[in-house]
């Protein structure tokens, strides 16, 4: 869990960590709780549950998580719905134990950068000393185009 303590270093690490955490015994889970740890080293975890394969809202949530992890030191867990507890809807997003979005419910399963960044600012989540490459002036415009293309594919 050392990678999580210092913040996610790469988005590919997220998938590996999600798979590893999903297979770990997480103890008793209450209805409505996230399907993984809600805190790591005293820091709230951003948990995303996605469809298989991910669709528009799931992809959007993962892109938002990538942007946030390029600015904030925040542990992120991405889990496919088949590895979540029975009855979990996808897409769903939690920040700690707080439900931020759920398919058919709160925000209909999709979050925005501003929604989560505002919550992280209020929680005084530490920022990375340097912004990640995703925020570079030569990368950010291309990333924004990619996000828009994902949203417009039928």
- pLDDT tens readout for residues 29-71: 344 789 999 999 999 999 999 999 999 999 999 999 999 999 9
pLDDT band at 15 (very low <50, low <70, confident <90, very high): very low
Residue 28 lies in a domain: no
How many domains does the chain divide into? 1
Residue 16 lies in a domain: yes
Residue 30 lies in a domain: no
Q: Is the pTM of this model over 0.85?
A: no
Residue 29 lies in a domain: no
Cα 25 to Cα 49, 87, 107: the distances in Å are: 18, 18, 30
Q: How far is CA 53 from the centre of its chain?
A: 16
Q: Are 4 and 17 in contact (CB under 8 A)?
A: yes
Residue 88 lies in a domain: yes
Helices 56-69 + 113-122 axis angle, to 10: 40
Q: How far apart are CA 82 and CA 14, in angstroms?
A: 17
Residue pLDDT, tens place only, 100-151: 999 999 999 999 999 999 999 999 999 999 999 999 999 999 999 988 888 8
Q: How far apart are CA 82 and CA 71, in angstroms?
A: 30
**Residue numbers of the domain that contains 113:** 2-23+35-152
Residue 144's domain is classified under what CATH number? 3.40.30
Q: Are 77 and 45 in contact (CB under 8 A)?
A: yes
């Amino acid at each position: 869990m050392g990678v999580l303590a210092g913040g996610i270093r790469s988005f590919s690490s997220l998938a590996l960590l999600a798979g590893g955490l999903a297979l770990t015994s997480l103890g008793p889970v209450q209805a409505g709780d996230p399907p993984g740890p809600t805190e790591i080293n005293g820091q709230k975890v951003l948990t995303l549950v996605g469809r298989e394969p991910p669709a528009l809202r799931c992809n959007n949530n993962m892109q938002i998580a990538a942007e946030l992890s390029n600015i904030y030191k925040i542990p992120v867990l991405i889990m496919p719905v088949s590895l979540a507890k029975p009855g979990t809807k996808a897409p769903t997003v939690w920040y700690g134990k707080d439900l931020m979005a759920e398919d058919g419910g709160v925000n209909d399963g999709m979050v925005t950068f501003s929604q989560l960044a505002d919550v992280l600012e209020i929680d005084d989540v530490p920022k990375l000393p340097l912004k990640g490459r995703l925020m570079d002036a030569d990368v950010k415009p291309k990333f924004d185009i990619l996000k828009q293309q994902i949203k417009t594919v039928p």
